[in-house]
Amino acid sequence: MEKYSEDKEHLYMVAHLIPDAPEVDNSQDSRLNFIKNVYICFSLQQFFLLLAPNVSIKYSFCWLTEQIWAFLIAIFIAISIICYIQCEKIQARKSPQKYIILFLFTLVESYAISAISCFIVQKLEVGYNFIFLTFNIYIFVVSGLTILIIIQKKYFDFSSKKAMIIPFILTLFFALFVFIIDQTTLYPMLLIIIYNLYIQFDLHLMVGHKKRYQLRQDDFLLGALVLNFDMVPFVLEQLKQTIFCKK
């Protein structure tokens, strides 16, 4: 009996000393504010990420292509930052730590993208055209999605009726395939549509009801970094289609 009383008292103390874990706010306003913060942070990153290669190609072309060790260090630091944020999410929510992490990640990623851009321009005949086309498409995609999220008053959900527009648009573009002779125009258009859907689906997982992928409202830094990695398949696919269409 005494042991039961001691255990009960111990549980009572633990329950009052350790606060409950904060629940994720799934309200519409909270989810929309989270997406806005993610896209604002993401867009600021992309401004510097797209500016750096243009400056590097013009002024530091030879140096970037020769210093492979610096490129590998930049990739290692970027991966380390992602792993650190995943393991220490509490630190990524604090100020000014989260802004320092964001600045450092943007810096090393800008260097890595600049080195890759210089290497592509040097090794491929269509390199400069690829860089120019990819960056312009990417600017319009990011700008359009950012403006849409900022002015949107209601969160877009894939379970809503608006999602019926997506298969209609895809069907329309595939139907136009028969009438389009220039494949260099068709492939980038389809790639933009697929990339937009991919980003929206990724955001849906971040703010959706699946706890495995869901992020807290103050995890917008992690959300922006995830979108940065979503850019990789887009660039690789655009490179493949550019080389294919030029042959």
The set of residues, in sequence order, having a beta carbon less than 8 Å from that of 72 and lying 6+ positions away, is: none
pLDDT digit of tens for each residue in the chain (247 aa)?
A: 444 454 444 444 444 444 444 444 556 666 677 777 777 777 777 777 777 777 776 666 667 767 888 888 888 888 888 788 778 777 767 777 878 888 888 888 888 877 877 777 777 665 666 666 666 666 666 666 666 666 665 555 545 555 455 555 655 665 565 555 555 556 666 666 677 677 767 766 766 655 555 566 667 777 777 777 776 666 666 656 555 555 5
Note the Cα 159 to chain centre separation in Å: 22
Instruction: Give the Cα separation of 226 and 38 in Å (integer).
Output: 10
pTM, rounded to two decimals: 0.61
φ and ψ of 93, to 5 deg: -95, -10
Find tokens 């869901």 and name the residue: 214
Residue 118 near residue 64, CB atoms below 8 Å: yes
